[in-house]
């Protein structure tokens, strides 16, 4: 039974200024789901990139099915039967779903691509995974969640013996996660070994057999999932206990002024949305995928055109046509898709954080570098961005730390109204509680926050009120003292 598939021992990896892996070990059995956990920047993705030949190791050995192997490229890993779903989406936006899945393996009719055959095969694959996605859609027209499902479908199409999933559920909602778990169970039954990286600790208890913890590039320990509790996992990851307390009562006075009001907001996906956001309030927005939460945020931010609707800030009607207008009116939007909208990956931490605050640092467009440097350093410290310096390129940071840079960017901008779209996606528990603390500080300073989230515990913990959407409509707003997961789910599925 307990057949060893992969054994990594004494793995070393250096990047300029970073000892990313320090004598790290990891093993994976046939038919097991093995979780890899650790704080942002602990080295999880790096260890798996070494295993899949994307990074060259600086020391240590890898044994695969009993033989010593050197894996020089992702292609070699694939040939050995080791597949990976990367943390960052890795698809070509202007190509179709089918083209992305079968890139490099397309069916040919003579010298030409046989799109029909490729589409049919993609169709069959997507259907077998219960995914309702047209293989001829361009990737750029899909939501992040659907892109993620396509990425998973692609990895599964290789029929790997080892499948690494790096944060596969970060962009998914409950029902999609359930279907992903079903595939995982099927694969496990077929003897596939699965490495499962996730910051959603409740998931680990549901789906994994063993858990290996990493801290600062080092191996900490491996335990049987059945033997541990979530607080124990957290303790292993961060070396300290973290307490999660839900909000039981709103912190906003009844007569607090309204900082943002939207009336009769309409677009293709949003129907008659109206709500008020009070000064100092955190308004949570709950809903299933496709409920229109991000679309609503994008209308308020001027990123998409509205067909009708009115926006009032501090009681005054404003005209927001572009994100530029929104920013000028003091609205910041932390997008759910950091790669597409949030970050310039090829620029440094400092440039990414200070760009949006450009006006504040510059006089007549001359950027005051000293000031940008000072503020960036302050925020990097405050939210604990793990980077050797603020001059590191953002693409070299771990996924969770990239997310923190987006956050820093809007914090520096000093907006009065902040829209956070899935702010803690992919962020480790320690950093999560830092971000929660920061959000609470921000509202205490008199800022107002809209927080879109798919994580119920987060909504219940942070919000003063929870607005719920379904199919583009607002189906209800619950005060935090009456909100429960059940009530939210009922409203989230209340179709017309
Ligand atoms: N290409 C690279 N160049 C320079 N440094 C890198 C590179 N890739 C990773 N690092 C650094 O190595 C360390 C480990 O990063 P890694 O991405 O493995 O973390 P992680 O555990 O996957 O974190 P997360 O939970 O945020 O995804 C980090 O300090 C990161 O900044
Ligand atoms: Mg990672």
Dump pLDDT digits (tens) for 375-390.
Answer: 888 888 887 888 888 8
pLDDT of residue 156: 80
* pLDDT above 80 (res 168): yes
- How many Å lie between the centroid of ligand 1 and the Cα of residue 19? 10
Looking at every residue in the chain, the average pLDDT score rounds to 87
Q: Check residues 466 and 402 and name the one with the higher pLDDT.
A: 466
Q: What is the mean pLDDT of residues 96-109?
A: 83
Q: What is the mean pLDDT of residues 182-188?
A: 88
Nearest-10 crossing angle of helices 369-382, 399-413: 120
Instruction: Please report which confidence band the pLDDT of residue 329 belongs to, taking 50, 70 and 90 as the band edges.
Output: very high
CB 264 within 8 A of CB 295: no
Q: Check residues 388 and 414 and name the one with the higher pLDDT.
A: 388
- How many Å lie between the centroid of ligand 2 and the Cα of residue 496? 40
DSSP character for 140?
G
Q: Pairing mode, if any, of strands 82-85 and 162-166?
A: parallel
The residue contributing the CA closest to ligand 1 atom 19 is: 41
The tokens of 273 are what? 């949305």
CB 28 within 8 A of CB 224: no
Residues 6 or more apart from 26 whose CB is under 8 A from it? 6, 7, 8, 11, 36, 47, 212, 219
The tokens of 250 are what? 């709103």
pLDDT of residue 339: 59
Q: Residue 269 and residue 478: Cα distance in Å, rounded?
A: 23
* pLDDT above 70 (res 290): yes
Closest-lying ligand to the alpha carbon of 429? Answer: 1
pLDDT of residue 459: 93
- Share above pLDDT 90 across residues of the chain, in percent, rounded to a whole number: 48
- How many Å lie between the centroid of ligand 1 and the Cα of residue 362? 32
pLDDT of residue 363: 43
- How many Å lie between the centroid of ligand 1 and the Cα of residue 34? 20
Strand (E) or helix (H) holding 351: helix 349-355
pLDDT of residue 436: 87
The tokens of 410 are what? 């809007």
Q: Which residue has the tokens 């503020």?
A: 375
Q: Pairing mode, if any, of strands 473-479 and 465-470?
A: antiparallel
Tell me the Cα Rg of the chain: 23
Of 66-75, 140-149, 224-233, 307-316, the poorest mean pLDDT is in 140-149
Domains assigned to the chain: 4-238 (3.40.50.300), 258-492 (3.40.50.300)
Residues with CB under 6 A from ligand 1: 15, 18, 20, 38, 40-46, 87, 386, 396-401, 428
CB-based burial, 341-362: b 16+ in 10 Å, e otherwise: bbbeeeebbbbbbbbbbeeebe
The tokens of 424 are what? 């803690």
Closest CA to 477 of 487, 113, 383: 487
The residue contributing the CA closest to ligand 1 atom 7 is: 396
Q: Pairing mode, if any, of strands 210-215 and 67-69?
A: unpaired
* pLDDT above 80 (res 243): no
Q: What is the mean pLDDT of residues 430-458?
A: 88
Dump pLDDT digits (tens) for 67-102.
Answer: 999 999 998 998 999 999 887 777 888 999 999 998
Q: Residue 84 and residue 149: Cα distance in Å, rounded?
A: 13
Angle at CA of residue 164, ends 162 and 168, nearest 5°? 145
Strand (E) or helix (H) holding 311: strand 308-313
Q: Residue 298 and residue 311: Cα distance in Å, rounded?
A: 13
């Amino acid at each position: 039974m307990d057949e060893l598939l992969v054994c990594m021992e004494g793995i070393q990896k250096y990047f300029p200024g970073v000892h990313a892996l320090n004598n790290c070990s990891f093993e994976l059995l046939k038919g097991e789901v093995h979780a890899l956990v650790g704080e942002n920047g602990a080295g999880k993705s790096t260890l798996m990139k070494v295993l899949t030949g994307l990074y060259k190791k600086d020391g240590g050995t890898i044994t695969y099915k009993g033989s010593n192997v050197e894996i020089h490229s992702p292609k070699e890993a694939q040939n050995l039967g080791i597949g990976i779903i990367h943390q960052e989406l890795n698809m070509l936006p202007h190509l179709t779903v089918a083209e992305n899945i079968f890139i490099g393996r397309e069916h040919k009719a003579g010298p030409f691509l046989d799109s029909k055959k490729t589409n049919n095969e993609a169709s069959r694959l997507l259907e077998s995974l219960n995914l309702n996605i047209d293989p001829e859609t361009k990737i750029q027209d899909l939501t992040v969640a659907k892109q993620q499902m396509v990425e998973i479908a692609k990895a599964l199409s290789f029929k790997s013996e080892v499948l690494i999933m790096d944060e596969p559920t970060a962009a998914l909602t409950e029902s999609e996660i359930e279907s992903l778990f079903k595939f995982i169970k099927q694969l496990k039954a077929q003897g596939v070994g699965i490495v499962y990286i996730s910051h959603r600790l409740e998931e680990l208890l549901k789906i994994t057999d063993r858990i290996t913890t990493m801290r600062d590039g080092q191996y900490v320990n491996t335990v049987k999932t059945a033997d541990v509790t979530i607080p124990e996992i957290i303790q292993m990851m961060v070396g300290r206990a973290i307490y999660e307390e839900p909000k039981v009562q709103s912190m906003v006075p009844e007569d607090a002024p309204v900082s943002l009001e939207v009336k009769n907001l309409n677009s293709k996906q949003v129907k008659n949305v109206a709500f008020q956001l009070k000064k100092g309030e955190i308004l949570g927005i709950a809903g299933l995928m496709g409920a229109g939460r991000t679309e609503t945020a994008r209308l308020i931010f001027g990123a998409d055109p509205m067909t009708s609707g009115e926006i009032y800030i501090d009681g005054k009607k404003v005209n927001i046509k572009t994100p530029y207008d929104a920013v000028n009116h003091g609205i910041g939007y932390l997008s759910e898709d950091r790669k597409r909208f949030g970050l310039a990956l090829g620029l440094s931490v400092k440039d990414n954080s200070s760009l949006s605050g450009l006006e504040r640092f510059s006089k007549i467009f001359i950027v005051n570098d000293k000031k940008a440097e000072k503020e960036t350093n302050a925020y990097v410290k405050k939210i604990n961005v793990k980077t050797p310096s603020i001059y590191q390129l953002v693409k070299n940071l771990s996924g969770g730390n990239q997310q923190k840079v987006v956050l820093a960017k809007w914090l520096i901008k000093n907006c009065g109204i902040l829209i956070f779209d899935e702010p803690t996606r992919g962020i480790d528990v320690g950093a999560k509680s830092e971000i929660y603390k920061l959000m609470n500080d921000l509202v205490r300073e008199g800022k107002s926050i809209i927080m879109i989230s798919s994580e119920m515990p987060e909504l219940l913990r942070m919000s003063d009120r929870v607005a719920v959407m379904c199919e583009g409509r607002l189906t209800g707003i619950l005060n935090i003292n009456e909100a429960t997961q059940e009530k939210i789910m009922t409203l989230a599925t209340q179709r017309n």
